[in-house]
Amino acid sequence: MKKLLLIIAIIFIGFGVKQAYLAYSTDDNALYAIENKPVDLFDLDDPRVRIVYFGFTRCPDVCPTSLAMLSGALNQIDPETLQTLRPVFVTLDPERDSPEHSAEYAHYFHSSIEGVSGSVDAINELARRYSVTFHKTELKDSALKYTIDHSSYFYFLKPDGSLIRKVPHTISPDPIVEAIQSLSLPAN
């Protein structure tokens, strides 16, 4: 009887160790949101159209302007249409932009914009998939040490990740609103 209890205890301990490992381990190719929650950008059970913007939180001009324009567009559409969209900010600087920091930055512009980060490999893979051009540029005599030079587009994606269209950087929300209105959006 003692041997049986010992075997059962070992099984439960082993199961607990495995569950703890799975809960705290990270996938090098995954994206993460607040509290290191894994984010599946291409969840086929989520029918919303993704509007993905690649940038970084220390960007002095292009990223804040672009996210402000996205926010302006989201504020111009009706609530039903907004529910069919999934706006996401993906950092290109995962070394400095944690999932929490990326989310906080994105939410500053609009509460519906998700902010995500991941490993350098995960970000590179996702950026490569959509031909996002970016590179780290060293800044001599700067507290920032480096910046990220990058292209600036809004990528409209189907749930499976296929590209619907891309809208270039703009100083008006109108092109984004027009792109949203041109979509055949799923009923929520």
CA atoms within 13 A on the CB side of 52: 29
Neighbours of 41 (CB within 10 A): 18
Contacts of 94 (CB under 8 A, 6+ apart): 117, 118, 119, 120, 122, 123
Distance (Å, whole) CA 52 – CA 116: 11
- Kindly report the backbone phi and psi dihedral angles of residue 147, in degrees, each rounded to the nearest multiple of 5, phi listed first: -130, 170
H/E segment holding residue 20:
helix 2-24
- The answer to the question of whether 150 is labelled as a binding residue is yes
Distance (Å, whole) CA 37 – CA 158: 22
H/E segment holding residue 52:
strand 49-55
H/E segment holding residue 181:
helix 174-181
21, amino acid identity: Y
- The answer to the question of whether 135 is labelled as a binding residue is no
- The answer to the question of whether 101 is labelled as a binding residue is no
Token reading at 18: 């495995």
Binding-site residues from annotation: 59, 63, 150
Binding-site residues from annotation for Cu cation: 59, 63, 150
